[in-house]
């Protein structure tokens, strides 16, 4: 099943030219993996393990990222470690989407209701005092999936900056970037 889903997803993607900058190529690969977990949440626990199924499509998934990293001068060992770092980040944030989907199917309160109720309780008990980040999270509202998407974008930009810094003419224009 993993082979079928990965092969089919790769085949269905509209052909796109290779991005000029390696950082853009890594971003595309990370976003493709993110989209896979959003579309096929069952795939996450199958691949997010130290013993994933070693089928051709999984190998190709790793090969694409490692190839970009080798082109910019990483050693094979470091390229694989960088792949694991990037994929691990994608998988970690994807877990939040999977958990939210499970909560929704279980009939739990919406994330927005949980978030505002929890914030009110923390404010009442003064646990929200001097935690500006908590006020920001509470003020964002919306649903959990939109929040996770925002967090994913923010973290992915910073992770990519660490793996392959932007070129002189390329800067991150997302909110919160410097």
pLDDT of residue 119: 73
Name the strand (E) or helix (H) holding 3: helix 2-12
The Cα–Cα gap between 22 and 153 comes to 18
**pLDDT tens-place values along the chain, 178 residues long:** 888 888 888 777 767 788 889 999 999 999 999 999 999 999 999 999 888 888 998 999 999 999 999 999 999 999 999 999 999 999 999 998 887 777 767 776 666 666 667 777 777 887 776 776 666 665 666 677 788 888 899 999 999 999 997 766 554 444 344 4
The span from the CA of 21 to the CA of 164, in Å, is 9
> How far is C-alpha 11 from the chain's CA centre?
22
User: What's the confidence (pLDDT) of residue 111?
Assistant: 61
Of 90, 91, 62, 89, the C-alpha closest to 76 is: 62
Spell out the domain ranges in the chain: 2-11+18-163
Domain 2-11+18-163: CATH superfamily is Tetracycline Repressor, domain 2 (1.10.357.10)
Look at residues 3, 33, 15, 53 and name the one whose alpha carbon lies nearest to residue 159.
33
């Amino acid at each position: 099943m993993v082979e079928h889903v990965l092969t089919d997803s790769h085949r269905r993607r509209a052909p796109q030219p290779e991005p000029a900058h390696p950082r853009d190529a890594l971003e595309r690969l990370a976003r493709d993996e993110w989209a896979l977990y959003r579309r096929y949440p069952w795939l996450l626990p199958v691949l997010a393990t130290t013993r994933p199924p070693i089928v051709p499509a999984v190998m190709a998934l790793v090969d694409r990222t490692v190839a970009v990293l080798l082109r910019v001068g990483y050693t094979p060992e470091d390229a694989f470690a960088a792949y694991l770092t990037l994929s691990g980040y994608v998988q970690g944030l994807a877990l939040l989407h999977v958990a939210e989907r499970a909560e929704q199917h279980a009939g739990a309160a919406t994330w927005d209701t949980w978030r505002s109720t929890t914030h009110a309780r923390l404010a009442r008990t003064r646990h929200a005092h001097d935690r500006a980040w908590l006020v920001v999270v509470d003020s964002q509202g919306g649903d959990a999936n939109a929040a996770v998407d925002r967090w994913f974008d923010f973290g992915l930009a910073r992770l990519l900056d660490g793996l392959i810094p932007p070129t002189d003419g390329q800067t991150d224009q997302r909110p919160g970037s410097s």
